A and B are shown apart, each in its own frame.
Chain A
Amino acid sequence: MTVPLEGYLLLSAAVFCIGVFGVLVRRNALLFLMSVELMLNAANINLVAFGLEYGNLTGQLFALFVIALAAAEVAVGIGIIVSFDRNFESIDVTDAVTMRW
């Protein structure tokens, strides 16, 4: 049984919206990072789905790159969170408001 393209796109859109929702409302920096991961993976689903649809490997190749980038991003993000925790003794993103006007 083959899943039509719309199915993948709906799944991807749903995952992306969950990610955006998490970024908008969560205060915990770790959950923040996870939400970003969700958004990236939503994009990956799109890439692979279109690759399948049109029958070339470029989409999958690109998804691999995005996964590698996401890994790097997580490493940097977790580093920021560790440093954040040392400075504010919490990982609540609303604590860090000194970098403004």
Chain B
Amino acid sequence: MSALLDPAVGIVACPLVACLVTLTTGRWLPLRGAIPGLVATAGSLGLAVWVALRLALGTAPTHETVYTFVGGVDGQGVVFSFGLLVDPLSALMLVVVSLIAVLVHLFSVGYMNEEGESDLDRYYAGLGLFTFSMLAFVVADNLLMAFVFFELLGLCSYLLVGFWFRDPGPPSAAKKAFLVTRLGDYFLLVGVVAVFATFGSGAFAGPDSFVTAAEGVVDSDTGYTFLDLSGQQVVDGIGLLVLGGAIGKSAQFPLHTWLPDAMEGPTPVSALVHAATMVAAGVYLLARMYGFYALSPTVLAVIALVGGFTALFAATRALVEQELKQVLAYSTISQYGYVMLALGGGGYVAAVFHLTTHAVFKSLLFLGAGAVIVATRHEEDMWEMGGLRERLPVTYYGFLAGSLALAGVFPFAGFWSKDELLFETLDHAAGGVSVLWVAYAMGLLAVAVTVLYTVRMLLLTFHGDPRTDRAADPDSVGWTMQAPMVVLGVLAAVAGVLNLGTLRGVLGEETLLLAEFLSGETLEGFGGLTTENGGFALSAGQYAETLHDAAGYEAAGLSPVLSGMVALALAFAGVAGAVLLYRGDDPDTHVARLGRLGSVLANNDHQDEFQVWLASSVARRAALAANRFDRGIVDGVVNGLGAVALSLGGRFRRIQTGLVSNYTAMLVLGLTLLLLVFGLTEGWWV
């Protein structure tokens, strides 16, 4: 079967076609291009569900090259190609991305079209391109292709965050999002080059993948040496470089500052960015090459610490924000911190699980926030709301489901995934990887803070008495906005069924559907993805083995129920705290009581100032020095050579007098000289 006929190509191509159709004919279409986008993403969703079901029912994963643009010389050298890798991980992600995309398109009809926004063909073309980039990134079978679409995601976020480019805020936010993620992408670029230079291949899977090559490099004691580095150090270095890209895209500390500003974009775009595309791309990249990271305990520790710290610190920021969307932005940063924590803590399945559930409940929360914003006629400050519960029942219950899932309340989706990842981290920490204790403690503390800010957000927005006229008399919300919330609300309540890890002692391992799926246990053949030692190289089981052998991750075999109980107790403490602080008809802000800490938090922990300082003094000075070097030395050499030639020419041209007699004299003199020279050297007169 030709690779172009694979359903995965269709999944990726649909939104691109929609984007092109909208770009060319969008302004004459009804709803300005929403219909091609809806049809295309629905088609992608259908195909993605089919592909995922096929995998779940036993079809072999796909690993095919679609297009080779640099083929190497005589089969030697580096090959650059675009290819498909549809394994359980990417199939799951395809479903998630296309599901969120179709719901966001539907929601946009209510949020953008019915609000009478202009230039909507540009908006829908952007959404289509965004979805296309993410889907292509998800199915990428090599690092270079992943990098290409990673960059395209950055471009799309720039276009969509800056959609309202006539206002002052959005263009600046778009530029910030682009530049800050570019900084991370720079490290990724160096990492990609390093991978190709070191291992000669960027393939994620197969016998000649860089992951397999890296295993060989780490195992050999004779030592692969580059600049006197051992194989392990090279793998660590490359892992950190690629991690830089993931930190930028997934808005982890310290490159998280672009994400809260990106709230300037339309709310459906925020839902897409936070749940399915862009921000998910960073952690997805880490999960995609998890076999590589599993080789490097140092980088895993860094990932776990960055993730745990980000989870805690972003949660504290969410606690003091006044605007609904800002709270959600910091909550996204915090939740992706959890996913990073899970990856670093050796919980691959837990990380993918949390990525999935987070996509569902965070897009739900953003759509709910969008509905609230529309209903209150573009009010975003939570202190200007209150009491919306009776007036917006569908939005309220959707938002409630999302909030409970975010807070990790039993039995909503977030409970299962968050407990699973905390349990995995704890289990490996107790198994001897002591640095995980620190990360775990931060993650656990963040559970309470998460619940606190979630309940605060919920109480301030929907409970109590309306604090403004707008909140007292909200507009109604159309069905195009309610339907996505209903779908996602149901999913947020029941998605935990995928992997009831906390109860695995009671229900048995075979109920862990997602773990089974990701382990490749549902697959019959392994479709060329096998390694020599057998087994599905991209499977969760293989990763666990590598983690155990190469990184020394041991499971202590603790009880998952106990860990779940601890987290649940902390969650209830958070609920109690939030209810105590923010209940009632007229809650206090409580921010003033924080004193200096509050001002530090309110100033974004001075992260923006730090980055501006970094850019204006350090980077600017380096750039000026480089400029001086370029102008003084590089240009100086070139200009100097030119000046020498010019002045020599100026002198020598004086011999051209224009007098015929002088030319003749020169001819004669030259001939005489020539004769003399020949005569002397050839010995005519000797």
Contacts and interface: CB of A to CB of B under 8 A. Distances in A.
Interface of A: 20, 23-25, 27, 32, 93-94, 96-101
29 contacts: A20-B664, A20-B668, A23-B661, A23-B664, A24-B661, A24-B664, A24-B665, A24-B668, A25-B661, A27-B661, A32-B660, A93-B659, A93-B660, A93-B661, A94-B659, A94-B661, A96-B658, A96-B660, A97-B657, A97-B658, A97-B659, A98-B658, A99-B658, A100-B656, A100-B657, A100-B658, A101-B653, A101-B654, A101-B656
A98 to B, nearest CB: 7
Lowest 5 CB-CB distances: which A-B pairs, in order? A100-B658, A97-B658, A101-B653, A100-B656, A23-B664
B158 to A, nearest CB: 57
Interface of B is mostly: helix
A32 B654 CA distance: 24
Interface in B646-678: 653-654, 656-661, 664-665, 668
A44 to B, nearest CB: 19
Contacts of A100: 656-658
B273 to A, nearest CB: 68
Contacts, number: 29
Contacts of B657: 97, 100
Nearest to A35: B664
B671 to A, nearest CB: 10
A23 B671 CA distance: 15
B660 to A, nearest CB: 5
A20 B653 CA distance: 25
Given A23-B664, A27-B661, A97-B658, 7 more contacts: A20-B664, A24-B665, A24-B668, A25-B661, A100-B656, A100-B658, A101-B653
A100 B255 CA distance: 67
A24 B672 CA distance: 14
Contacts of A99: 658
Contacts of B654: 101
Contacts of A20: 664, 668
Contacts of B665: 24
B131 to A, nearest CB: 68
Contacts of B656: 100-101
Contacts of A96: 658, 660
Nearest to A93: B660
Nearest to A96: B658
Contacts of A98: 658
Contacts of B668: 20, 24
A93 B665 CA distance: 14
Contacts of A101: 653-654, 656
Tell which of A32, A96, A98, A100 has the most Cβ of chain B within 10 Å.
A100
A32 B659 CA distance: 13
B398 to A, nearest CB: 87
A96 B659 CA distance: 7
A96 B663 CA distance: 13
Nearest to B671: A20
Contacts of B660: 32, 93, 96
A76 to B, nearest CB: 15
B333 to A, nearest CB: 72
A27 B656 CA distance: 18
Contacts of A25: 661
Contacts of A23: 661, 664
A101 B651 CA distance: 11
